């Protein structure tokens, strides 16, 4: 986005891209006990931008402008706190006032602070799902609705989970500080799950008006790459997750058209696939085999690998075999439905329909979308009914448009 972009279009983009980074650096100075203070300063920075840019226009370097304002607001906060300490607390002598720290926002510190924040937030003092939810909100800028979509649960459940997690942070006075190798290792699984969900929301957004949010995918890849640069986080699982992200990212340009509408896998222009990213995916997948373990990320990366290879007669058989292994590690409904899709490609729709209907997940849009696909060509009315149910259940505009197009195709048949 250039300087000609209207400020009311640019600001939401910058908020998504920079707010979490800004909060992470500020928390490095305030400590996680004062997480809300860091968030308030970051929020005030964007509020000032909306007021100032509306009158004076967008500055030449919007990101630099934002970080300068954040730095000044943080400095003012510390000065005001110092005045309080010296004037209100009589026991302090003039020389004992807290020094105003120097706030720095450089590229290296921002990246380092984000990773440190993720490790700090993923603290065993909170339940694992609460750790992930809080990391997605604070560090990835997710809304409650987006987190609920990632967990396939209700927003009210997520709100309560976040409130409890924040309360624990305040009471336990967590700080961003170096962790031992043992502590890092104990938190790595949760960190990887956070990045996995961050990437997934970018790759297939379940909320809002965009199916693909490339900035989220890029951020997840960047943070995963940072993990591979540290010996204690450069594990087979980390490499497998990064391989998965590379394979999936290679097809981002081909997944939507100029209007933002979905292009189905079979209809994608393969000349738009990024061969360099596919090669990087192969590289990280090979690295992931060094430890002898097989995680869900290994299996999903292998499935994604088969999606990037030229079609052959056995492709879907390999994918189904991988899904058969994956459901043993991850019994989530989404994994089960993806396996059923692969089952249909190998053994036909009749068998897949029987498997799908056993789940009886009538409150899920994925369930109805899958059955809509499976009944298409067999029972048009039932297919349309399931697609309509999926439309009613999804909050995503691009998803509704894709399902509506599927109904129109069925009606023309």
> For residue range 220-240, what is the model confidence (pLDDT) as tens digits?
898 899 889 888 889 999 999
The pLDDT of 281-295, averaged and rounded, is 92
Q: Which residues of 73-96 are buried (b: 16+ CB within 10 A; e: fewer)?
A: bbeebbeeeeeeebeeeeeeeeee
Give yes or no for residue 101 having a pLDDT over 70.
Answer: no
pLDDT value of residue 5: 57
The pLDDT score that the predictor gives to residue 338 is 95
- Cα 249 from Cα 164, distance rounded (Å): 35
Percent of the chain clearing pLDDT 90 (strictly above) = 38
Distances (CA, A) of 162 to 102, 134, 154, 158, 236: 31, 6, 13, 6, 30
Mean pLDDT of 319-336: 94
**Three-class SS state of 262:** strand
Per residue in 82-94, pLDDT tens?
A: 654 555 444 444 4
Q: Provide the H-helix boundaries in 204-347.
A: 214-228, 236-249, 275-288, 296-308, 315-329, 333-347
Of 154, 14, 136, 166, nearest in space to 145 by CA: 154
Give residue 359's pLDDT: 87
pLDDT of residue 235: 94
Average pLDDT over residues 187-198: 91
Binned at pLDDT 50, 70 and 90, residue 410 comes out as very high
Taking alpha carbons only, the member of 25, 28, 30, 22 closest to residue 46 is 22
**Which range (104-113, 115-124, 198-207) has the least confidence?**
104-113
More confident residue, 25 or 156: 156
Residue 262's beta-bridge partner residues? 256
Residues 204-226, mean pLDDT to the nearest whole number: 80
Q: Is the pLDDT of residue 112 over 80?
A: no
Q: What is the CA radius of gyration of the chain?
A: 24
Residues 123, 175: Cα–Cα separation, whole Å: 11
Enter the tokens of residue 25: 């650096």
Residue-level pLDDT at 188: 92
Of 247, 267, 237, the residue nearest 319 (C-alpha): 247
Mean of the pLDDT values across residues 390-405?
89
Specify whether the backbone of 31 is left (phi greater than 0), alpha (psi in -120 to 50) or beta: left
Q: Hey, is 336 helix, strand or coil? A: helix
Question: Which residues, listed in sequence order, are joined to residue 256 by a DSSP beta bridge?
Answer: 262
Is the CB of residue 146 less than 8 Å from the CB of residue 210? Answer: no
| pLDDT at residue 341, rounded to an integer | 95
Residue-averaged pLDDT of the chain: 83
400 by Cβ neighbours in 10 Å (0-12 / 13-18 / 19+) ranks as: middle
> Hey, what are 372's tokens?
């809509």
Predicted confidence at residue 311, as pLDDT, reads 66
pLDDT value for 96: 45
Question: What does the pLDDT look like over 241-271, one tens digit per residue?
Answer: 999 999 999 999 998 887 777 887 888 888 9
Q: How distant is the alpha carbon of residue 44 from its chain centre? A: 24
CB-based contacts of 298: which residues, under 8 Å, 6+ apart?
A: 236, 237, 240, 288
Residue pLDDT, tens place only, 11-36: 877 876 788 778 877 776 666 666 77
How much is the pLDDT for 85?
52
């Amino acid at each position: 986005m250039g300087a000609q972009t209207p400020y009311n279009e640019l600001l939401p983009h910058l908020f998504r891209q920079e707010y979490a980074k800004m909060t992470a650096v500020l928390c490095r100075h305030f400590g996680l006990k004062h997480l809300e203070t860091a968030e308030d300063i970051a929020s005030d920075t964007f509020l000032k931008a909306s007021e100032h840019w509306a009158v004076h226009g967008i500055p030449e370097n919007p990101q630099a402008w934002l970080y300068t304002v954040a730095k000044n607001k943080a400095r003012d906060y510390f000065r005001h706190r110092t005045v309080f300490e010296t004037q209100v607390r009589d026991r302090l002598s003039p020389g004992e006032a807290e020094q105003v720290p120097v706030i720095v926002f450089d590229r290296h510190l921002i990246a380092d602070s984000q990773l440190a924040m993720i490790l700090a937030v993923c603290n065993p003092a909170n339940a694992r799902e609460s750790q992930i939810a809080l990391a997605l909100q604070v560090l990835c800028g997710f809304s409650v609705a987006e987190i609920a979509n990632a967990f396939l649960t209700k927003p009210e459940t997520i709100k309560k989970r976040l409130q409890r997690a924040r309360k624990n942070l305040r009471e336990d006075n967590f700080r961003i500080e170096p962790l031992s190798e043992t502590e890092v290792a104990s938190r790595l699984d949760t960190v990887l799950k956070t990045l996995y969900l961050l990437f997934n929301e970018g790759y297939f957004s379940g909320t809002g008006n965009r199916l693909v949010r490339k900035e989220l995918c890029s951020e997840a890849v960047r943070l995963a790459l940072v993990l591979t640069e540290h010996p204690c986080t450069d594990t087979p699982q980390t490499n497998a997750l990064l391989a998965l992200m590379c394979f999936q990212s290679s097809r981002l340009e081909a997944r939507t058209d100029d209007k933002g509408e979905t292009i189905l896998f079979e209809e994608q222009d393969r000349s738009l696939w990024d061969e360099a990213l596919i090669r990087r995916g192969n590289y990280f997948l090979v690295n992931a085999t060094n430890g002898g373990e097989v995680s869900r990320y290994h299996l999903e990366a292998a499935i994604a690998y088969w999606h990037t290879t030229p079609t052959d007669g056995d492709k879907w058989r390999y994918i189904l075999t991988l899904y058969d292994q994956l459901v043993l590690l991850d019994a989530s409904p989404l994994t089960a439905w993806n396996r059923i899709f692969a089952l249909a490609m190998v053994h036909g729709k009749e068998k897949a329909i029987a498997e799908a209907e056993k789940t009886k997940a009538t409150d899920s849009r994925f369930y109805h979308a899958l059955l809509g696909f499976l009944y298409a060509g067999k029972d048009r009315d039932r297919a349309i009914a399931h697609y309509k149910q999926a439309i009613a259940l999804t909050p995503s505009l691009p998803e509704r448009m894709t399902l509506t197009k599927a109904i129109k195709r069925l009606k023309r048949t």
